Homo-oligomer: A and B are copies of this chain.
Amino acid sequence: MLSERQLLILEAIIDDYIRFAEPVGSRSVSKRRDVKFSPATIRNDMADLEELGFLEKPHSSAGRIPSQKAYRYYVDHLLAPKDVGLSRHEIADIDQLFTKKFNELEKVIQHSANILSDLTRYTSIVLGPAVFSSSLQQIQLVPISPDTAVAIIVTDTGHVEKQTVSIPEVIQTTELEKFVKILNDRLRHVPLIQLQEKINTEVRYVLREYLDHYEEMIGMLNETINPELHEQIYYSGKTNILAQPEFRDVDRIREMMNMFEEESLIYRLFRSQNHGMTIRIGEENDLEPFDQCTIITASYSIDGKHMGTVGILGPTRMEYRRVIGILDYISKDLSKLLTNLYQRKNEW
């Protein structure tokens, strides 16, 4: 439906606008190497493209800027997946994830986020490894006063969750120790996501046999297992986006920065992405403060199992090609790294 020439012009305009953030005129398109038509011809096509909703005019005597529809078309049809072209330098930057030795999962993730924002100069958002896809390694109850204790859950990925709980006074220390022992015997290697259910069925019956105050203990336990538990969000380069000319408006900035703090919304946004790579342009994000932004996410995995999401937030006028390349590379790198880090565990 779009002619060869129209495609060429559309791409030229998008490329130009991505680079300079200025409306693009027919003359400057015609000056490009690969364009062999006069400004007048280009103007005709531009008028058509505008009618089709791909281009917009800020005002009648300015050039055209791409619409959201244009960006969507661009990433869907115009971006050849082959020519991603990361420089040697960039690849080296990413690969240092491997060379630096982190044995804290969190640090690996944070470092990935840092690399991402440094490389792209946009804001990076990374969803940490899914807590619920890991399983219980050990559960601990450390008393810190006569009536309180810290409950600690360690997962097989080395993640630690803690929760202060109050201990019903009827319970004796010896009972408590028995309780923890039973829990560990019964619940080790149980995926966290099944923990709650398992406790309230299977474990309940076992406890009943051995302990007097098992109901109180179950109650305490249910306090501990937080069903709203979710992956941590890592940011880097929150202020990078402020350097973009389209975000020079303080009120808009304020809204966006507020949104960063609304972790539950960001979390939902990232969780809803399909695995693989997702590109959301402008209003496709369904969050009003980001309606001039594009968010690209890629998922990373351990042993092929989806674990988390790395993402970039930038203006709709984003360097798609580059960002896609970087995200693709880093998500694969991260998957490899994490798989290495935890494969021994699985063989164990």
A residues in contact (CB < 8 Å) with B = 103-105, 137-138, 140, 142, 144-148, 150, 152, 154-158, 160, 162-166, 238-239, 242-243, 247-248, 250, 253-254, 257-258, 261, 342, 344-345, 348
Contacts and interface: CB of A to CB of B under 8 A. Distances in A.
Nearest to A342: B145
6 tightest A-B contacts by CB? Answer: A145-B345, A160-B162, A103-B164, A142-B154, A138-B142, A242-B254
Contact of A146 (B155, B156, B160, B348): B348
A239 B239 CA distance: 12
A154 B152 contact: yes
Count of identical protomers in the assembly: 2
Contact of A158 (B147, B148, B156): B148
Contact of A144 (B157, B239, B248): B157
A253 to B, nearest CB: 7
Given A103-B165, A137-B142, A145-B345, 5 more contacts: A144-B158, A152-B160, A160-B162, A242-B253, A243-B254
A221 to B, nearest CB: 15
A254 B247 CA distance: 11
Contacts of A257: 238-239, 242, 257
Nearest to A235: B261
Given A164-B104, A254-B239, A257-B238, A150 B158 contact: yes
Contacts of A239: 254, 257-258, 261
A155 B142 CA distance: 9
29 contacts: A103-B148, A103-B165, A103-B166, A104-B163, A104-B164, A138-B142, A140-B142, A140-B152, A144-B154, A144-B157, A144-B345, A145-B342, A145-B345, A146-B344, A148-B158, A150-B154, A150-B160, A152-B154, A152-B160, A158-B164, A160-B160, A160-B162, A238-B257, A239-B254, A239-B258, A242-B253, A243-B254, A247-B250, A250-B250
A154 B162 CA distance: 10
